[in-house]
Amino acid sequence: MKKRIFELIQIGHREDNLSKIFDIFISVTIVLNIAVLFLETFDEMNPYYDILHFIEIITIVIFCIEYALMI
């Protein structure tokens, strides 16, 4: 089980579809987190603060889980 998790979170397994999906998922999560952090800096986004904050928390939880799996 540990070996499979290690294989999934490591970059570069082109023949492993699940590893590719994980890499794409993490990349999208990073871009989403950066976009949310950027949007939160604008006062015009105040009506959407709750949803942006929720997305920010979810992406941070995903990053924490990924980091814990790497350890």
pLDDT tens-place string over residues 2-37: 787 877 787 766 778 888 888 899 999 999 999 999
Question: What mean pLDDT comes out for the span 38-46?
Answer: 94
Q: Which two tokens stand for residue 45?
A: 């986004």
Instruction: Say how far apart CA 19 and CA 42 lie, in whole Å.
Output: 36
Residues 6+ apart with CB under 8 A from 53: 40
* Domain ranges for the chain: 2-70
Sign of torsion, CA 65 18 13 1? positive
Helices (H) and strands (E) in the chain, counts: 3, 0
Who has greater pLDDT, 10 or 39? 39
Look-up: residue for tokens 């603060």? Answer: 49
pTM of the shown model: 0.83
Residue 59's pLDDT band, with cuts at 50, 70 and 90, is: very high
> How many whole angstroms separate alpha carbon 43 and alpha carbon 13?
42
